[in-house]
Chain A
Amino acid sequence: MSSLELRGITVRYGRFTAVQDVDLLVPEGTVTGLVGGSGSGKSTLGKAVVGLAPRTAGRVLVAGRETDRRRGRGPVQLVFQNPYASLDPRMGIGAAVAEALPGPAAPRSRPFRGTPARARRAARDAEVARYLELVGIDPSRAALTPDALSGGQRQRVALARALAARPAVLIADEITSALDVSVQGAVLNLLRRLQRELGFAMLFISHNLAVVRYLSDQVAVLDGGRLVECGPTDRVLRRPAHPTTRTLLSCVPTLAPTEDAS
């Protein structure tokens, strides 16, 4: 397992700077929560790491080695916010997970060369079933297309797909914000369990501080594309040093009614 290190990441769209000079270290096997208001650049930063947003400057290091995004798959996988858009509506969920598996899809993969097609397919199906089971989806449903699944189930499949690529680092971009609260709990529990079992480093992007607090070892706060605060979760949330963090904290709605409401 490996760490994720960002050095001086800058993303510019024309004259607009979405992310400016961000340095961030996600240590091996830990979770870093990335918070900020809308437009703070947190999603753009996540996309820049996997190469979906153009990096104007900066380097992404996984386990100390620079990633090359031009060829094949990188060691970083991303789970998208909206499970209704991140799965191909025409592809069975099993096929979607299979696509992520390292193996015969890459033509020169050695272990499978020479094995008969049927054995290869059986091995593949077994792997798909394993990953679906890992996220709590019945493998017998592998042939279904996403429209037969609920939002929470789709997000589980998206998670299975990302994990099937055996990433060293996982980026979760607002993965529960399109889900209902009861489903959100189940997905968060799952993510936490898998992260502990598989030990990957994770960058957890969210606007929900309570969720970030629940999952993260370390919290990073973005504002206007700049990293304004970063530290252990407890310290940052208890003694916020930057005004942005304080504002974010004061805006967390709570179940206990406030005085002026009633």
Chain B
Amino acid sequence: MSQETRSPQARPREAGTAPRHRRAHTLRTPVGVTALTGCLLVALVAVLGPVLLGTRAARIDTDAINQASSAAHLLGTDNLGRDIAARVVVATRLTLELTLLATAIGTVGGLLLGVAPAVLGRRAGRLITATVGVLVAFPGLLFLLFLATVFGVGSTGAVWAVGLAMVPPTARLVQNLTASVAGADYVAAARILGVGRCRLVVRHLLPNIAEPSVLYATQAAGGILVAFSGLSFLGLGVQPPQYDWGRLLNEQLNRIYVNPVAALAPGLAVVLTGLMFGLVGEALAQAGGRRAPRPRPAAPRRAVTPAREAAADTVPDAADGSLVQVRDLRVTFPGGRHAVRGISLGIGAGEAVGLVGESGSGKSLSALALADLVPHPGRTGARTLRFDGHDLRADPRLGTSLAMVFQDPMAALNPALRVGRQLAEVAEVHLGATRAQAAARAADRLGAVRIPAPERRARQRPHEYSGGMRQRAVIAMGLMGQPKLIIADEPTTALDVAVQQQVLDLLAEVRADSGAALLLISHDLAVVAQVCERVLVMYAGLIVEDLPVTELARGAAHPYTRALVGAVPTMTTDPGTPLATIPGRPPEPGEDGGGCSFAPRCDRARERCHAAAPELAGFGTGRRVACWYPVGTTAGASAVTTSPEGETAS
């Protein structure tokens, strides 16, 4: 019942490359090439080996018993004078057959047992889960030997023993996988639609657990190969006159000092084939996207266009005395995706600035870049990145004068630590406080964010707090130092409406008490309007408008800001008329036509808008807008020439 769960995956266009493309790409990686070659080689040997060398491997030659390696017999001969090299090659087929058969038994059994609890009733499901649990607890090797004894010696018995021994761990894995899929909304949706159990399994459960299951099966095949060879080696598996690699190893091991290669060759075959199974699994995992292949090196980046360089200089010079000065901030991801495409902004001491925009507009990344927290493959670049007189890149101020409040307070707090301890850590690390001092300050700060009985609450863990209380605790953590700037990234999105109001009030209060500036990032214009004095509107990685909050409701100059404002139903919207919408979709990162990025969706766009991108330029007093034809000016006039009368705000 959380209000909004704007998860990171809520960015469809970043979901990655198409599966087919990814598959083809994986085949070209070293792992893919090696796995494919290995597979083909082993398959070829298994198919052709017995055909070409079958007679040679079976020919008994009493004149050449127990010979060492020679030109005629590459690996020597065994005690009946048979060529060992030929026997190793011929044994490939039987070994592979038995391995794959056992893997199939294990996988099918594991799938059946693993899916059953999700399909059967609650009681039967519990029984199966418990049984699998008991079987998993049983030591694997013991289970295998027990089954081998039960089924008796011979290949059939060994196949069943090894296959069945694989069932419990597979079933456990499948159970866990299905449990997570079975709880998904789309399975619930299928249930409401009255989809039957079997169809549910075939159409929804199995396809969604296929990838990890296949990966597990290939890895298990490697293990089964070794287990099977072990059984044969012990004499429990393949019986003469049949032979597999384990059997050959068994026969030759007693002569290892006389003819070492004869004993090592079948062992080597087992190891290499096992490795091949592992590589196939690895390649499948990459192709399935579980582990992303390393992205191709970024396309050579275009030089920064001189026009934009110049634009960066148009940041109001008044910002020089301000707390935060950012010029030409960029966040780039591999593959040439520019998430933030050169923004410039200034925040005055004690000022509250809102940063609004839709998902994918780069607003959160801009804020993370200020705190030097851009996630891994992303790279931050800026011409100026100054905070409180320091260069942020050389001297990150997080924890002392720069505080960060995240969207999800449960994720921002460590569930294993007491809240007071987590807060105290800040003081110990950054302020050099003693443990007792830090604990006292933590309780004091919790009190400052209006958490009742702060001493007692400090000893509790995050799960004992309500959602709103957790967000208060995170804010308190930011207050452990002496913050001059609080960056709050969607701080109320995960909260209830009533709690949202309390947290917003608290932020305003904290700002009044500490004199800290606030950068509030939100997709919700109304939230920003409540707390902030100035609003920056981002679209497609650029700031398109910078305006005082008093102008937001009626006086916005950029068509995008206007559209955003119009799209939100308010308590005065006429239910009889349709809501304003913005046609089209925002451009994907890297999709840059050269013109204004909003032009394709803008009903005011003209030729000029498609041809050249407008810069963020001064517009009236204390306002900036990136638009050739801002709303409120005479059409066709340049952005800077006219400014609506009487709009002198802040």
Contacts and interface: CB of A to CB of B under 8 A. Distances in A.
Given A52-B191, A181-B523, A182-B582, A91 B568 contact: no
Contact of B467 (A38, A88, A100, A189): A38
Given A147-B15, A215-B575, A84 B9 contact: yes
B578 interface: yes
B146 interface: no
Interface in B174-233: 184-186, 188-195, 199, 203-204, 207-208, 210
Interface string A27-41: 000000000011111
Interface in B506-537: 508, 523-527, 529-533
A91 B210 CA distance: 13
A124 B250 CA distance: 62
B373 interface: no
Contacts of B638: none
A17 interface: no
A256 interface: yes
Interface stretch (A4-12, A57-65, A245-253): A245-253
Size band of the interface chain B makes with A? 35 or more
A177 to B, nearest CB: 5
Contact of B358 (A43, A87, A180, A252): A180
A148 B194 CA distance: 27
B496 A73 contact: no
Contact of A255 (B13, B500, B552): B552
Nearest to A149: B12
B384 interface: no
B10 interface: yes
Contact of B530 (A40, A84, A96, A257): A257
B401 interface: no
Given A177-B4, A181-B524, A251-B498, A85 B12 contact: no
B549 interface: yes
Contacts of A188: 569, 579
B207 A178 contact: no
Contacts, number: 211
A174 B496 CA distance: 13
Given A78-B189, A255-B529, A214 B5 contact: no
A236 interface: no
Contacts of B7: 82, 84
B567 A248 contact: no
A185 to B, nearest CB: 4
A181 B533 contact: no
B185 A181 contact: no
Contacts of A257: 529-530, 549-550, 552
Contacts of B207: 88, 90-91
A262 interface: yes
Interface in A152-195: 154, 158, 161, 165, 174, 177-178, 180-186, 188-189, 192-193
Contacts of B191: 51-52
A262 B524 contact: no
Given A165-B193, A192-B578, A182 B12 contact: no
Contacts of A86: 185-186, 188-189
B359 interface: yes
A36 B531 CA distance: 24
Contacts of A91: 186, 203-204, 207
B496 A207 contact: yes
B34 interface: no
Interface in B1-30: 1-7, 9-10, 12-13, 15
Interface residues of A, number: 79
A155 B532 CA distance: 32
A82 B5 contact: yes
A260 interface: yes
A213 B571 contact: yes
Contacts of B553: 255-256
A73 B358 contact: no
Query: Quick one: which of A51, A148, A262 has the most chain B CB within 10 A?
Result: A262
B580 interface: yes
A40 to B, nearest CB: 8
Contacts of B573: 210, 213-214
B192 A78 contact: yes
A261 B194 contact: no
Given A38-B1, A214-B573, A50 B552 contact: no
Contact of A189 (B184, B563, B579, B582): B579
B189 A185 contact: no
B581 interface: yes
Contacts of A72: 194
Given A91-B203, A255-B526, A73 B193 contact: yes
A80 B185 contact: yes
Given A37-B498, A51-B192, A72-B194, A258 B530 contact: yes
B641 interface: no
A211 interface: yes
B533 A261 contact: yes
A41 B1 CA distance: 8
Interface of B: 1-7, 9-10, 12-13, 15, 184-186, 188-195, 199, 203-204, 207-208, 210, 352, 358-359, 467, 495-501, 504, 508, 523-527, 529-533, 549-550, 552-553, 563-565, 567-571, 573, 575, 578-582, 585, 650
Given A151-B10, A213-B573, 4 more contacts: A37-B496, A180-B359, A210-B573, A215-B575
6 contacts: A37-B496, A51-B192, A80-B188, A88-B204, A99-B195, A213-B569
Interface of A: 37-44, 50-52, 71-74, 76-78, 80-82, 84-91, 96, 99-100, 105, 147-151, 154, 158, 161, 165, 174, 177-178, 180-186, 188-189, 192-193, 207-211, 213-215, 237, 247-248, 250-258, 260-262
Closest A-B pairs by Cβ, 3 of them: A73-B194, A253-B526, A185-B579
